[in-house]
Amino acid sequence: MKSKTGVLLGRLIRNIMRSPDTIITVAITPIMMMLLFVYVFGGAIKTGTHNYVNYLLPGILLMAIASGVAYTSLRLFNDVKSGLMARFLTMPIKRSSILWAHVLTSLVSNLLTVVVVFLVALLMGFRSHADILHWLAVAGILGLFTLALTWLAVIPGLTAKSMEGATAYSYPLIFLPFISSAFVPTDTMPKIVRVFAENQPVNSIVNAIRALLNEGSVNNDIWTALAWCIMIMAIAYFFASKAFKRQLR
C-alpha cells in the first residue's frame, strides 16, 4: 500500500509543483486579511496584547487551511469526472491508496501555504518565544485540523455534480474564524453570538495555538481543540469511506 500511495502522491505533488500558483492563490486571501486587520483595523481593536499580528495569526492560519483543502475536493472531482478514478479502480492497487494520496497531498500543500503565511507574518512583526515543544504542539494541532478538514473535503469531491458544488462547502469554513476569538475577544460580542463563538470548534483551536505561540496558559483549550479535530476527522472519514464505496459499485 505504501509504495502505491507514494506513486499516487507523487502524481498529485508533481501537478502542484507544475502550477505553484495554486499555493499562492490559497495564501493570498489570508495574507490580505492579515494585512487589512493589522494595518487598517488593528489600531481600533482592543485585544489586550502588545502586538496584534501575534493575536491574529492563529485564525489566519486556520483560514488558509480551510481555503487550501477546497483543492482536495476539486482534485477528486476532476479525477471522478474525467474517468481517471474509474481507471485507478481497475488497477491492482489498494483502493484506500487513492484517497490517502489526496489526503497526504493536502497535508503537503497546506504545509507550504502555512509556511508562506508565517513568513509574511514575520515581516509584519510576528514574534514568538515559544520553545520547541510548543512549536511541535502547534504543528500537531494544525496537522490534525488539516486532516479533519481534508477528510471533510473528500465527501463533496466524490459526490458533487459540479465543480462549484465540490468547493462551495469551504466558504462557511473559511469565515468560521470570524465568529470566534480569532480577530477580537469573544467578550465583546452580543450574548447569543458569544455563546456560539465560544462553543464552536475554531475557537478552542485558535485559543490553544495562540497560547502555545505566546507562552500563555493553554488550560483545557488544547484538549478541547484535539477533541474537536479528532471527532470531525472520525465522522468525516466515516462518511467519506461510504461515499468512496459507492464509487466502487
Cell of 180: 470566534
The reported pLDDT for the residue numbered 61 is: 95
pTM for this structure?
0.87
Q: Checking phi first, is residue 175 left (phi over 0); if not, alpha (psi -120 to 50) or beta? A: alpha
The reported pLDDT for the residue numbered 92 is: 64
Instruction: Encode the chain (249 residues) as per-residue pLDDT tens digits.
Output: 445 666 666 666 676 666 666 667 778 888 999 999 898 877 777 776 778 899 999 999 999 999 888 888 888 888 888 776 777 667 666 777 778 888 888 888 899 899 999 999 999 999 988 889 999 999 999 999 999 999 999 999 888 888 888 778 778 888 899 999 999 999 889 999 999 999 999 999 999 999 999 876 678 889 999 999 999 999 999 999 998 888 766
Angle formed at CA 24 by CA 21 and CA 26, multiple of 5 degrees? 110
Q: How many domains does the chain have?
A: 1
DSSP assignment string, 2-46: HHHHHHHHHHHHHHHHH-THHHHHHHHHHHHHHHHIIIIIGGG--
Angle formed at CA 187 by CA 184 and CA 189, multiple of 5 degrees? 75
Distances (CA, A) of 137 to 130, 133, 140, 143, 177: 10, 6, 5, 10, 20
Cα dihedral value 85, 91, 92, 98, nearest 10: -20
The reported pLDDT for the residue numbered 168 is: 81
Which residue range(s) make up the domain with 138?
2-248
The reported pLDDT for the residue numbered 1 is: 45
Angle formed at CA 146 by CA 189 and CA 102, multiple of 5 degrees? 145
Instruction: Please name the residue that has the C-alpha cell 502588545.
Output: 50
Amino acid at 204: S
What are the DSSP E strand ranges found in the chain?
A: none
